[in-house]
C-alpha cells in the first residue's frame, strides 16, 4: 500500500503497523499511535512527511477518504452480489417450472388444444398479473397465424366477456397459481355454456385445473 523506498527500519515498521490497523488509524491521535506502535511522535511526523503529507492529521484525512470509498465499494459489491443471487434464484425457479411443465405435457392434450384453436371462430385470452405478458405474446402469435383473437386482463371485463362466449369460440385462460378468482369464475361460466377452455397453469392442483 505504501512506498517504503528510502525509509528507515523504524519508519517501515510504523507503516507495517498502520497497514495492520487501518480501520483504527483515522480515529486515533498521534500520541495514541505512538504508544500503541511503540515509536516516537517525531518518527511518526517524519514518516508522514516522507510520504508527502504535512503531518499525521493530513494523513488521517486522506486515509478516511480512501477508507470511506473502500466501504462504499464493498457495500456496492455486496448489493450487486445480492441482486445477482436473486437473479440466479429466479432463473433456477423458471427452469424448474419449465422442466415441470414439460414433464406434465401430453401430446394428445396439445393436439386437441391446437385443433380447438384453429377450429374456433374467435379465440379469447384471459389473464391477470404476470400471466398478462404470456397472454400478450400468445395474442401476437395467433394474429400472425391469422386467428381472430382478443385479450382481456381487467377482472370485471373478464367476467362480462366470459358470459358472451358460445360453443364456436375457445377460451384460453392463463394463470400461474390457478387461484385467481375472476379467472376461476370465467372458466366455470365457459364450462357451463359448453365453451371449449384451454388452461395454462403451473399449478396442477389448483381450482382452475
Residue-wise pLDDT tens digits, 98-134: 677 677 777 788 889 999 999 999 999 999 988 899 9
Please report the domains of the chain, with CATH numbers, ordered by start residue.
1-104 (1.10.10.10), 106-200 (3.40.50.10490)
Between CA 79 and CA 73 the distance in angstroms is 10
> How does residue 156 score in pLDDT terms, banded at 50, 70 and 90?
very high
Mean of all residue pLDDT scores within the chain: 85
Tell me which residue of 2, 9, 122 sits closest to 53, measured CA to CA: 2
Has this prediction a pTM greater than 0.85? Answer: no
Tell me which residue of 183, 175, 133 sits closest to 154, measured CA to CA: 183
pLDDT of residue 150: 96
Please state, as a whole number, how many other Cβ atoms lie within 10 Å of the Cβ of residue 171. 28
Residues 35-74 as b/e (b if ≥16 CB within 10 A, e otherwise) read: eebebeeebbbbbbebbebeebeebbeebeeeeeeeeeee
> How does residue 74 score in pLDDT terms, banded at 50, 70 and 90?
low
Q: What are the φ and ψ backbone dihedral angles of 71, each rounded to 5 degrees?
A: -65, -40
pLDDT of residue 142: 94
Amino acid at each position: 500500500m505504501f512506498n517504503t523506498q528510502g525509509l528507515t527500519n523504524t519508519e517501515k515498521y510504523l507503516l507495517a503497523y498502520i497497514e495492520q490497523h487501518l480501520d483504527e488509524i483515522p480515529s486515533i491521535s498521534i500520541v495514541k499511535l505512538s504508544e500503541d506502535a511503540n515509536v516516537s511522535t517525531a518518527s511518526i511526523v517524519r514518516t508522514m512527511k516522507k510520504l508527502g503529507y504535512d503531518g499525521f492529521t493530513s494523513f488521517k484525512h486522506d486515509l478516511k477518504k480512501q477508507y470511506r470509498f473502500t466501504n462504499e465499494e464493498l457495500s456496492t459489491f455486496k448489493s450487486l452480489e445480492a441482486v445477482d443471487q436473486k437473479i440466479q434464484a429466479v432463473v433456477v425457479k423458471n427452469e424448474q417450472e419449465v422442466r415441470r411443465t414439460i414433464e406434465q405435457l401430453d401430446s394428445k392434450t396439445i393436439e386437441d388444444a391446437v385443433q380447438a384453436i384453429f377450429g374456433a371462430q374467435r379465440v379469447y385470452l384471459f389473464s391477470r398479473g404476470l400471466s398478462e405478458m404470456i397472454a400478450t405474446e400468445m395474442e401476437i402469435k395467433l394474429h400472425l397465424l391469422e386467428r381472430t383473437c382478443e385479450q382481456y386482463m381487467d377482472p370485471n371485463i373478464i367476467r362480462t366477456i366470459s358470459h358472451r362466449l358460445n360453443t364456436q369460440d375457445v377460451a384460453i385462460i392463463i394463470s400461474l397459481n390457478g387461484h385467481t378468482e375472476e379467472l376461476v369464475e370465467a372458466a366455470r361460466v365457459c364450462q357451463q355454456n359448453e365453451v371449449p377452455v384451454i388452461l395454462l397453469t403451473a399449478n396442477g392442483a389448483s381450482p382452475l385445473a
